[in-house]
Amino acid sequence: MIDGLVPISLKELKTKESIKAYNFKGNLDNFPTITPIEGELDIEHKGDYLIVKGFAETTVSLVCDRCLVEYSERLNCNNHEYIWIGQSIPKKDQAGLLISCDEIIDFIEPDGIFDPAAWVFEQLHLQLPVSKICGKECQGSEILKENAINYLSTSKNMSQTDSRWDDLKKLL
Ligand SMILES: [Zn+2]
């Protein structure tokens, strides 16, 4: 829970007639980090849709896929999104749209509640690398290499029939 990053109802947002601005620093229970998550977030009610824009940064501890050693990685996100107010994402031909439907990626019901902490969580989560490598110099783990060699030598029959295993061996 990040102090001040409290959910706001769309009704409350609408009566504000301006931008709800959050300036935050803290930790999220469901997203462990080694430095506080810091950032800013603005939510603007535009009648038919919300404009949510903001940035967040933090440092996380990851385990390298290649050498299994822990390392830290800085995450930054800077994004803006249009969230449609309604029961679903509007159809392409819906009249009166001020923004392109392609830019609307989500919707929220008119009596719904916007959770800024969930938005920050989502944005940071998207920044996590798919392949976690500690650095360009990473040599990989001997244990992982041995396991791979053992696996390949016990899969001899496979290697005789499938030449792709030879390519794999060259990588070790
Ligand atoms: Zn590594």
Write out pLDDT tens, residues 42-98. Answer: 999 988 889 999 999 999 999 999 999 999 999 999 999 999 998 888 776 665 666
Shared domain for 66 and 19, answered yes or no, is yes
- The pLDDT, as a whole number, for residue 53 is 94
Shared domain for 115 and 150, answered yes or no, is no
Q: How far is the CA of 70 from the centre of ligand 1 (A)?
A: 8
- Is residue 2 in a domain? no
Q: How far is the CA of 140 from the centre of ligand 1 (A)?
A: 6
DSSP string of 108-161? E-TT-EE-HHHHHHHHHHHHS-SS--S-TT----HHHHHHHHHHHHHTHHHHHH
Shared domain for 14 and 86, answered yes or no, is yes
Q: How far is the CA of 129 from the centre of ligand 1 (A)?
A: 14
- Is residue 1 in a domain? no
Shared domain for 70 and 84, answered yes or no, is yes
Tell me whether strands 70-85 and 104-108 are parallel, antiparallel or unpaired.
parallel
Q: How far is the CA of 167 from the centre of ligand 1 (A)?
A: 22
- The pLDDT, as a whole number, for residue 69 is 93
Q: How far is the CA of 125 from the centre of ligand 1 (A)?
A: 21
Shared domain for 131 and 163, answered yes or no, is no
- Residue 14 pLDDT greater than 60, yes or no: yes
Q: How far is the CA of 171 from the centre of ligand 1 (A)?
A: 16
Q: Which domain holds residue 154?
A: 141-172
Q: How far is the CA of 63 from the centre of ligand 1 (A)?
A: 8
Shared domain for 92 and 150, answered yes or no, is no
Q: How far is the CA of 99 from the centre of ligand 1 (A)?
A: 44
Residue with tokens 């959050």: 22
Shared domain for 161 and 79, answered yes or no, is no
- Is residue 15 in a domain? yes
* Percent of all residues in the chain with a pLDDT value above 70, rounded to a whole number: 84
Q: How far is the CA of 18 from the centre of ligand 1 (A)?
A: 47
Shared domain for 126 and 169, answered yes or no, is no
Q: How far is the CA of 61 from the centre of ligand 1 (A)?
A: 13
- Is residue 20 in a domain? yes
- Is residue 3 in a domain? no
For residue 123, CA distances in Å to 53, 63, 113 come to 11, 20, 18
- Is residue 90 in a domain? yes
68 in helix, strand or coil?
coil
Shared domain for 119 and 96, answered yes or no, is yes
- pLDDT, tens digit, for every residue of 100-140? 666 777 899 999 999 999 999 999 999 999 999 999 999 88
* Structural domains of the chain, count: 2
Shared domain for 28 and 109, answered yes or no, is yes
Shared domain for 57 and 86, answered yes or no, is yes
Residue 1 one-letter amino acid: M
Q: How far is the CA of 128 from the centre of ligand 1 (A)?
A: 16
- Is residue 35 in a domain? yes
Q: What is the mean pLDDT of the chain?
A: 86
